[in-house]
Amino acid sequence: MGYSETVLKLISSFSLALIITSFGAVVTRNLRYATYIYAVQALLLTTIISLFATASPTLFLWAAVAFITKFLIITWLLLSFIKGMPEYEVKAIIGFAPSVVIVTLLVIILYEITHKYVHFLAPTTLATEEPFRTNVAVSLIVFTLGLYGILTRRDAFKTAIGLCLLENGAHLSLVSLAPGLRETVIIGIVTDVVLGVYLLLFIIRGLREVAGTTDTYHLTELHW
């Protein structure tokens, strides 16, 4: 594909760093820290897309859009939302220590299985090469951790963080499996989740104003 060894190593390194940021964004209970960690992940993903763009220049457009939407707009939306909120999230369904254990096991199992049997998930020659093989494994891990965050957190704000992780995992797989296609840029831009995050935060703000909390358990107390 025309990538230098340095670029390929940087892509692998930044890709693996996405696992660390996903881990931190899911397990940390401090809402501001979770937002900052998401912002770091957004920058890492933008950098990865830019590195792929060194051989497929059209990807620079997606990288620019990702920087504006994922890093600038979504981070600003999240930070603006948590002003006046408690410092820590509502107590999660699964506590901090068990979550660390579960997430660690998920990362190890998914990485080993996906890295070993990548041809079942992405039956292409490119997916069996590095760093594309690693990126496929990482994208599934980031996606799964986002889903884990949505399912195990009672705080609706952390649901928004989980949604952002889901999208980042999907976009990493997209740019890794088809970096040379023009359609990749279009799909990457139109599937940006910034509007979804805005609408979700708008709904959560309504929940907080009515119920006085962002605890999703209180949704059952709302009536027409």
Tell me the per-residue pLDDT of 117-147, one tens digit each, with 9 for 90 and over: 877 777 777 777 778 888 888 999 999 999 9
Amino acid at 145: L
Q: Does 217 or 165 have the greater pLDDT score?
A: 165
223 pLDDT higher than 70: no
What is the per-residue pLDDT for 219? 66
* Residues 177-186: tens digit of each pLDDT: 877 777 777 7
Given a cut of 90, whether residue 46 has pLDDT beyond it is yes
pLDDT at 80: 93
What gap in Å lies between CA 169 and CA 195, rounded to an integer?
Answer: 18
Among 55-69, 150-164, 205-219, the least confident range: 205-219
pLDDT given at position 224: 52
Token couple for 193: 């989740």
- Angle at CA 25, nearest 5°, toward 19 and 26? 90
Average pLDDT over residues 72-76: 93
DSSP 215: B
Instruction: Enter the pTM of the model.
Output: 0.87
Q: Calculate mean pLDDT across residues 53-70.
A: 90
Bond prior to 123 in cis (omega within 30° of 0)? no
Q: Which two tokens stand for residue 77?
A: 């939306």
Q: Tell whether omega for the bond before 57 is within 30 degrees of 0, i.e. cis.
A: no
Q: In which region does residue 88 sit, left (phi positive, over 0), alpha (psi from -120 to 50) or beta (all else)?
A: beta
User: 77 falls in which pLDDT band (50, 70, 90)?
Assistant: very high
- Percent of the chain at pLDDT > 70 equals 95
Percent residues over pLDDT 90 in the chain: 39
Q: Which two tokens stand for residue 24?
A: 């931190």
Task: Quote the pLDDT of residue 221.
Answer: 60
Of 3, 49, 28, 8, the C-alpha closest to 131 is 8
- CA–CA gap between residue 175 and residue 52 (Å, rounded): 8
**How many residues does the structure list for the chain?**
224
Give dist(CA 35, CA 75) in Å, integer: 7
Where would I find the H helices in 54-90? Answer: 59-66, 75-81
CB 26 within 8 A of CB 145: yes
